[in-house]
Structure 1
């Protein structure tokens, strides 16, 4: 820095370095010679002598001030240029990610359309075969069966159109869900692009300002401090980092979205899933009983047991109608559809005899008329049996407090396989995954995944002490995701956790709901094949639907 000006010292006027004109004082018309650090203004020799000669004024040579300001601005140039390169590269990355995301979603749409195209073809082929058979039969007795043939063809066409319409409606819904996801993703990419472009524009404006103030020394000296402050305030690498991290998160969420399909209870289902999303309450259905959820009968029908009089009801979540299907006397523990005609129920009874558990497993038709009972060997003194159905239509059954699980063919009631849970016992419901593996409740807060040979593949529990002490589990048959309903003792509410088949807790408290005064225990939450979540507070059934969010 220049030496401080002292009173009485005469300073010779020097030509400005690299300039043809002299910078003059507005007040005295004298060349600018000094810069007052206290008042932060450039001054001439008379100003320095008359107005700035006493302390605390400290004067620097104006040439040194100009040189220092230029040096400070020049030091910022590499930082500005580096950040500019990064944000321009990020703009390219955003564009690439947007293209990749859209391509991924278009591929999923193509998969959906291809899947449903095959089903259209299958319906066409099946109905054409039926029409050919009808025609062959009618040709043998043309006069007698002509009228009957025409009627059957008409009925067949009507059935075909009904099936086509059902498939079309499902496809339309799936494509609509996919479109909504695409719109959410596109909006997010647009927002990121705007944010990043704003940063690019800010950089350009600052660069333009630096170029402008460098053209005149007076402007440089007067405006450089404000420009430097603006650079530090606006050119933050945090903005760039936030955009980059948000982009990575969007890419990850988009890649999680997938089209899942499969058969549950003999019916085909397909939907978009794979993401965590957000569950929103769609409707609540009052049930006029002290309700205990026992399982799904179909995508929109729930088996509910009245724990007071032991009656069994079916609640339809679409019509919101509740129908009594079994009058008291039998305690239903679980139920599952085998196909479009059969339902299997596990029960708790106290009228057992001998070495067999008689009438602990019952097959019903869709009108809830008993078809027959299935017996399994009796072990121990606990008399309740849990059931589920695997992807092949086999019944999976187990007695409480025992280590044996039976695989039963419902066509002939034969036990085709016996599975032993190694070192553990069945402590509640059993659920079959799409792979054939079985999720078994093996303790009050523990679920164990075993193979068909009994091998332990995963132990699922919560690390929080007693968090799952009162809990029940249900498996999404299309994704193998576990939904565990728990009673939060501290907050006095029900809640549901989402867990992978490997035991990874994917999301806590995806839904929460209050407990009815009529119920003192936890009901399992149910996931319908179409992807809806149903919970029961003992008084109402609550239906939740998952939406895609970013």
Structure 2
């Protein structure tokens, strides 16, 4: 059930009408209408004015006249009869109920006003509370701030003290660091000084390293210059002959023209002129010499040895003429050549009895210095340069009583400080023996005991023998080719030389004379042998191989010193060496002789 009350503020609910005058709720139509609209629609059941207009929603707008106080609800007659007929339901007239309700509401209103006054007073208390507590809290805050500020100030004072300590400590550390920096700067200064010294030393070493390169360049350019001068000399000679022949031929033509001028000259001088010019016209122009010059010059080449530095080579490719270019007379009494280290430095020993010292001779400056002081029981016989720039020497040694030779092969640095000895088996039954050494292209030491049949290939890094070559005959080692094949002569000496491979197979190089010694060209593998006359007065050097081809020609010959008491033995001990530039080094027991193959046309 629901109740609706009319009001002067109600608005007419008819469509297109907004009137607020005399608006009344019509029960049947269930809407509010003004009087005009109600008349138009012939509405009935108009609500009465002057009393509450309450209508029951449950019973189709039935007017509400009662109020059930038991259930506190307004009801119409039908509701009272149907839903509120129970004896427990107390019904009251709606107007009385409204009046009772108004009275109760007014009482509540008064109580609400009293409560409102209490609220106002309570609000004042709250405001006062806020004010009082704010004042208190501000005072508390001020107290806290005062205490805290005092504590903060105390801490700031401590901070200043700590800061002073920190600054003092850091200043002390910085002072220590400054002192360390000063020391470091001093070390840096010393390092810079060391740098300058090392740079200067490096420059000096570099200059020394480049010195042989520069010398090699000068030698090569000198050789080319000499060839150019010889070529120019020969061509000038050919030009002179050509000019002479041209002039002679022109003169011949003039003679013939004179004879042919008239018959009288033909009759008178013709026969004589014919005889005189016929021989001149038959002379050849020597065209072959011009071709020979061209072919010879074009055959000249820059020869580089296998496995060597690119700059290390010489001008070759021609036969030329071997000439003695230098004779060096040093303080050594009986110099014997035993090896060489480079273009300048030749190793020689003094064959004077009781001396046995070893010297290094600079053939450019012609000065020598002793590098090994000999002993009565030891003597350097041969030497060669290892790939790491160390020097290996073969020696004569006495007192060899064990089954191995421990002091017959020694290794030195370039300042001739002894590094170590290399041991090989002893094959001789005597307590005196000697060992010759050479170095192959791989840097291995090739060693052989004199007058024995075994050759040893030794790794210089650890001194181990990596190969033993058994020869057919007793031999004396003379060198090693770039192929690895070994050059040796038989012992006793004979009219032949051996080329021995690493398996022991050998090839013979024959010669008309008895071969006392041999020499290998390190750049071309050309092979030279040393022979003598029957009385061992003259030393003769012949080329027997050019590369792999047999070739025989006399290179040089010279007499040995008359002061020698045993020339035959000297032939065996003094070597002939070929440098990479093509200089042939030998000794006549008085002087060191230097030969060079000169280009000739």
Aligned pair partner of 1:327 in 351, 374, 382: 374
Aligned to 1:449: 499
Size of the aligned set, in residue pairs, is 402
Higher relative contact order (CA 8 A, sep 6+): 1
| 1:414–1:537 distance in 2 versus 1, CA, 3 Å | same
- CA–CA distance in structure 2, aligned partners of residues 324 and 547 of structure 1: 33
Aligned to 2:358: 313
Could you give the per-residue CA deviations for residues 134-187 of structure 1, whole angstroms, max 9, x where no partner exists? Answer: xxxx99x96774444344344434544554565334323322321221121122
Q: Does 1:364 align with 2:412?
A: yes
Given that 1:406 and 1:415 are in contact with CA atoms closer than 8 Å, whether structure 2 keeps it comes out as yes
Aligned pair partner of 1:408 in 458, 481, 486: 458
| Bigger mean CA offset, 371-380 vs 248-257 | 248-257
| 1:400–1:256 distance in 2 versus 1, CA, 3 Å | farther
SS at match of 1:429: strand
| 1:420–1:250 distance in 2 versus 1, CA, 3 Å | farther
Aligned to 1:289: 333
Aligned to 1:247: 290
| 1:289–1:322 distance in 2 versus 1, CA, 3 Å | farther
Aligned to 1:49: none
- CA–CA distance in structure 2, aligned partners of residues 178 and 312 of structure 1: 39
Q: Does 1:480 align with 2:525?
A: yes
CA drift of 1:370 comes to 2.7
Aligned to 1:396: 446
Could you give the per-residue CA deviations for residues 482-541 of structure 1, whole angstroms, max 9, x where no partner exists? Answer: 332322236832222233254634431524233332252313222233332222122322
- CA–CA distance in structure 2, aligned partners of residues 250 and 410 of structure 1: 48
Aligned to 1:424: 473
> Residues 6-21 of structure 1: matches in 2 within 5 Å?
none
Aligned to 2:281: 235
Aligned pair partner of 2:321 in 251, 255, 277: 277
Aligned to 1:20: none
> Residues 490-509 of structure 1: matches in 2 within 5 Å?
492-500=537-545, 501-502=547-548, 504-509=550-555
| 1:374–1:345 distance in 2 versus 1, CA, 3 Å | same
- CA–CA distance in structure 2, aligned partners of residues 266 and 183 of structure 1: 28
Aligned to 2:437: 387
- CA–CA distance in structure 2, aligned partners of residues 390 and 216 of structure 1: 83
| 1:402–1:149 distance in 2 versus 1, CA, 3 Å | same
CA drift of 1:411 comes to 0.9
Q: Does 1:461 align with 2:507?
A: no
Aligned to 1:346: 394
Aligned to 1:198: 244
- C-alpha RMSD over aligned residues: 3.2
- CA–CA distance in structure 2, aligned partners of residues 527 and 386 of structure 1: 17
Aligned to 2:225: 179
| Bigger mean CA offset, 535-544 vs 505-514 | 505-514
- CA–CA distance in structure 2, aligned partners of residues 386 and 166 of structure 1: 27
- CA–CA distance in structure 2, aligned partners of residues 352 and 507 of structure 1: 42
Aligned to 1:549: 600
- CA–CA distance in structure 1, aligned partners of residues 598 and 521 of structure 2: 16
Aligned to 2:302: 259
Aligned to 1:538: 589
| Structure 2 runs not aligned, ≥5 long | 1-183
Could you give the per-residue CA deviations for residues 397-445 of structure 1, whole angstroms, max 9, x where no partner exists? Answer: 1123333221111111122223333x3331x232112232221112513
Given that 1:265 and 1:336 are in contact with CA atoms closer than 8 Å, whether structure 2 keeps it comes out as no
CA drift of 1:220 comes to 0.5
CA drift of 1:224 comes to 1.0
| 1:475–1:148 distance in 2 versus 1, CA, 3 Å | same
- Tell me the TM-score normalised to structure 1 length: 0.65
SS at match of 1:286: coil
Q: Does 1:226 align with 2:272?
A: yes
| Structure 1 runs not aligned, ≥5 long | 1-137
SS at match of 1:435: coil
- CA–CA distance in structure 2, aligned partners of residues 161 and 322 of structure 1: 22
- CA–CA distance in structure 2, aligned partners of residues 515 and 408 of structure 1: 38
CA drift of 1:264 comes to 9.4
- CA–CA distance in structure 1, aligned partners of residues 341 and 213 of structure 2: 21
